[in-house]
Amino acid sequence: MSIFLIYLAVTLAIVLVYLRRHKRKERGHIDDLRQAVVAGMSEPQSLHPVIDPLRCIGSGSCARACPEQAIGIIAGKAVLTNGAACIGHGACLSACPVEAIKLVFGTEKRGVDIPNVRPNFETNVPGIFIAGELGGMGLIRKAAEQGRQAVDSIWARKSSGQADYDVVIVGGGPAGISGGLSAIQHGLRYKLIEQEDSLGGSVYHYPRNKIAMTAPVKLALVGSIKMGEIQKEKLLEFWDDVVAKTGLKLSFREQMENVERRADGVFVVQTNKGTYSTRAVLLAIGRRGSPRKLDVPGEESSKVVYRLIDAEQYRDMAVLVVGGGDSALEAAIALSEQPGTRVCLTYRGDAFARVKAKNRLRLAQQERAGRLRVMLQSQVVSILQKTITVSYRGENQELDNDAVIVCAGGVLPTPLLQKVGIEFETKYGTA
């Protein structure tokens, strides 16, 4: 009897420890969800999971598989506790043992425009194809697969009319690179343009050392490449290596400005560097779109850039950061840590709503320490060589300035594509 009581006591102790630990984790997940709602970070930006509470058994497999820690377990069910952190790689979908998760676009509150494409990735406009993130596919492996299959379809289609190229590929991310490799394999005349000065597409803008979930990737000329969890930097190195080994040619800092279809079915693609005629167009651009411009005098100056690459290069300079999101705050904080750098952060709103709590806290610390200046309810009026004019709470102020970093998000070319005739469907939490 005494042995039974000992076993019972040990068992009860183990159960109590488990329940206490479980409750502690649940309180943490509830706090994460509450903070996300308060900060305006609960709405996912792209492809994201929706959990069926009737099927979910609360195993926690999805939460453990998510490197962004965007999923938690509350009341025995999986919940998306930080929607803004989700990047749509689908690791949770694969991890769920009972198929309680599906990946969807948009939410009931915020719709997402997704172009209509056929199984061969051709839009309703014959000759224009879409692959990757613009078409709603944020998964790196599948985006690369779509790029390859889209160019396979372009190679197989018949087209009349004389053109400079068989295909113009817009975008240097996984879908665009894969499409370019397939074009080489098929002997197609191709032009691959990328508006940034680097490879990687949306992956390039991930935070440093961020895990980019992927899986085996099949590329033309290269074959199947095995990948698991891989950091952003390693993935970018992989793409650079692929380009070097295959001789894939890209034109960086070239942005598509217009595309028109001639009577003979040939497309004319206009960029900031030239005009090209082509039998087909593959749009492999991300959902970040083109950087949102300020549209003020002097913005064309070389001292104006649209992302921070290396904070150290701005040492001992007067720098203005524009924006109210995490990227703007993180840029301002990184710059403020450089010796001699004078940093000013300007934002037209009266508060930083949709930002991570740790960025808000760190910004406040740097401001109190006198390492940067925050100007809410302000906007840039004009940019000169050594100064900048900012309207601050209704009054213009002239500030010393050596560089401007605009972190104001991106603009999708939806109006341009609709002008060509591409049809879109607005998704409200549907696949």
384 backbone dihedrals φ, ψ, rounded to 5°: -115, 180
Which range (87-96, 162-171, 246-255, 290-299) has the least confidence?
87-96
- pLDDT exceeds 90 at position 46: no
Residues 280 and 349 in one domain: no
Beta bridge partners of 206: none
The H or E element that residue 291 is part of is strand 290-291
Question: Quick check: is 297 in a domain?
Answer: no
pLDDT for the residue 387: 95
Mean pLDDT over residues 125-151, rounded? 85
**Is-contact 173 202, C-beta < 8 A?**
yes
The pLDDT score that the predictor gives to residue 418 is 87
Mean pLDDT of 40-64: 84
Indicate if 252 and 129 belong to the same structural domain: yes
Beta carbons of 193 and 270 less than 8 angstroms apart: no
Write the pLDDT tens digit of every residue in 178-219.
999 999 999 999 999 998 877 766 666 565 656 565 667 788
| SS3 of residue 80 by DSSP | strand
Q: Into how many domains does the chain fold?
A: 3
In a domain, 135, yes or no: yes
- Does a structural domain hold residue 175? yes
CB 146 within 8 A of CB 135: yes
Torsion of the alpha carbons at 196, 200, 202 and 203, rounded to the nearest 10: -140
Tell me which of 427 and 260 has the higher pLDDT. 260
Residues 255 and 134 in one domain: yes
pLDDT at residue 404, rounded to an integer? 96
Mean pLDDT (whole number) for 154-175? 89
SS3 for 155? helix
Based on the domain organization, do 333 and 226 belong to the same domain? no
> Do residues 275 and 420 share a domain?
yes
Pairing status of strand 410-411 against strand 290-291? antiparallel
Q: pLDDT, tens digit, for every residue of 80-125? A: 988 877 877 677 888 899 999 988 877 777 777 788 888 899 999 9
Least confident of 8-12, 24-28, 199-203, 414-418: 199-203
Write down the pLDDT at residue 203: 64
Same domain assignment for residues 160 and 199: yes
**Helix, strand or coil, per DSSP, at residue 289:** coil
DSSP structural state of residue 112? E
Q: Are residues 218 and 256 in the same domain?
A: yes
- Alpha-carbon distance of 66 to 62, in angstroms, equals 6
Q: What pLDDT is stored for residue 1 in this prediction?
A: 54
* 3-state class percentages of the chain: helix first, strand second, coil last, to nearest 5: 30, 30, 40
Q: What is the mean pLDDT of the chain?
A: 85
**CATH, residue 422:** 3.50.50.60
CA separation (Å) from 214 to 65, 71, 82, 220, 227?
12, 18, 21, 18, 6
What is residue 297's predicted lDDT score, i.e. its pLDDT? 95
Residue 355 forms part of a structural domain: yes
pTM score, two decimals? 0.72
Q: Give the domain range for residue 399.
A: 304-410
Residue 347 scores a pLDDT above 80: yes
Q: Is 228 contained in some domain?
A: yes
By the 8 A CB rule, do 356 and 325 touch? no
User: What is the structure's pLDDT at 408?
Assistant: 86
* 423/381 same-domain check: no
Instruction: Give the per-residue pLDDT at 211.
Output: 58
Is residue 299 one of the residues assigned to a domain? no
Do residue 173 and residue 87 come from a single domain? no
Q: What angle do CA 210, 221, 285 make, to 5 degrees?
A: 50
Q: Hey, is 430 helix, strand or coil?
A: strand
Q: Which of 134-138, 320-324, 373-377 has the lowest mean pLDDT?
A: 134-138
pLDDT confidence tier of residue 138, bands split at 50, 70 and 90 = low
The two beta strands, 267-271 and 256-261, are: antiparallel
Per-residue pLDDT, 431: 63
Residue 74 clears pLDDT 80, i.e. is over it = yes
Are residues 198 and 270 both part of a single domain?
A: yes
**27-41, 42-56, 103-117 — most confident range:** 42-56
46 and 131: one domain? Answer: no
Is residue 334 a contact partner of residue 308, using CB atoms and an 8 Å limit? yes
| Mean pLDDT across 27-41 | 75
Q: How confident is the model at residue 429 (pLDDT cuts 50, 70, 90)?
A: low
275-283 vs 165-170, strand pairing mode: parallel
* Mean pLDDT of all residues in 365-370: 94
Q: Are 269 and 275 in contact (CB under 8 A)?
A: yes
Q: What is the pLDDT of residue 44?
A: 76
Q: What is the pLDDT of residue 234?
A: 78
Q: How far apart are CA 216 and CA 225, in angstroms?
A: 5
Is pLDDT above 70 for 2?
yes
Q: What is the pLDDT of residue 24?
A: 80
Is 88 a member of any domain?
Answer: yes
Domain for residue 207, yes or no?
Answer: yes
Q: Tell me, yes or no, whether 157 and 254 share the same domain.
A: yes
Find the CATH number of the domain harbouring 50: 3.30.70.20
Q: Which residues contact 210 (CB under 8 A, 6 or more apart)?
A: 67, 231, 232
